[in-house]
Amino acid sequence: MKILALLLAAIAGTATAADCGPDKLNTERTIVLKREGAAYGTQQHSALPLADKEVVLTFDDGPSPENTPLVLKALADQCARATFFMEGRNLRQSPDLARRVVSEGHSAGIHSDTHPHLPTLSPEQQLDDLALSRAAYKAVFGVETPAYRFPFLEETPIMLAALKQANITVASIDMAINDWIPEDTTEVLAQRLNESLDKAGRGIILMHDANGPTAKALPTLLKVLKHKGYKVVHLEWEKAQ
């Protein structure tokens, strides 16, 4: 029985390797970032150390019970890894799904607690929102959050200072596909991605795993990346001390 188990394990390993062959998009490499108050994404900050035609896949607003599993399947089918920026309220509602995201090899950060327009809030309210989202992350994953993306990319001085003090990376973006319109089709999203890639050439791509059209379109979007010769770089962070 022990020999049989070893043979089955070997076959499973071979199948996995075959599934991630050259016909798939795959994950080219992983960058492990320090847990520090750095900030990346050329729309607002410095660029990540990426070569031409290297992209980082990121998703906001989940986890979504309806759509995140579809996103995970599309990524698994192409052996591509991504970073998910999760809202605190969704972490509290779907903790098992959040843990599934990480268990499948992806990384996770936070995207506020309730996705407010932070500049309209008082400093105390902004910090309260951050504290709630950090607490939700720690309750689900058992560690401090390594990264934060501002809702609407609306940064504020009080939040930037708090994140830097907490050694939390600020993740802005380099390009997006503006995928929050319910009527968007797969063709429209693919065209937006194609145009963004041609303009930027590399960088962090913003998408939304909570958005139904995005989840539906993702298999096509990943094929666009493959067809255009782009390589996926995965972001991870050093383990918390």
Give the amino acid at 218: L
Please give the angle made by the CA atoms of 168, 172 and 173, to the nearest 5 degrees.
Answer: 145
Given 106, 111, 115, 208, which residue is catalytic?
Answer: 208
Closest CA to 100 of 129, 61, 73: 73
**Which residues pair with residue 148 across a beta bridge?**
110, 170
- Give the count of beta carbons closer than 10 Å to the beta carbon of residue 167: 17
Q: Choosing from 60, 61, 174, 179, which is the catalytic residue? A: 60
Query: Is residue 208 among the annotated active site residues?
Result: yes
Q: How far is CA 84 from CA 99, 157, 165, 193, 215, in A?
A: 11, 24, 22, 18, 13
Interatomic CA distance for residues 63 and 61, integer angstroms: 7
Task: State yes or no: is 111 an active-site residue.
Answer: no
**Which residue, 212, 213, 232, 235, is CA-closest to 224?**
232
Which residue has 């599993």 as its token pair? 69
Give the Cα separation of 215 and 188 in Å (integer): 14
Q: What are phi and psi of 169, to 5 degrees?
A: -70, 135
Q: Contact at 8 Å (CB) between 137 and 110?
A: yes
Enumerate the active-site residues: 60, 208
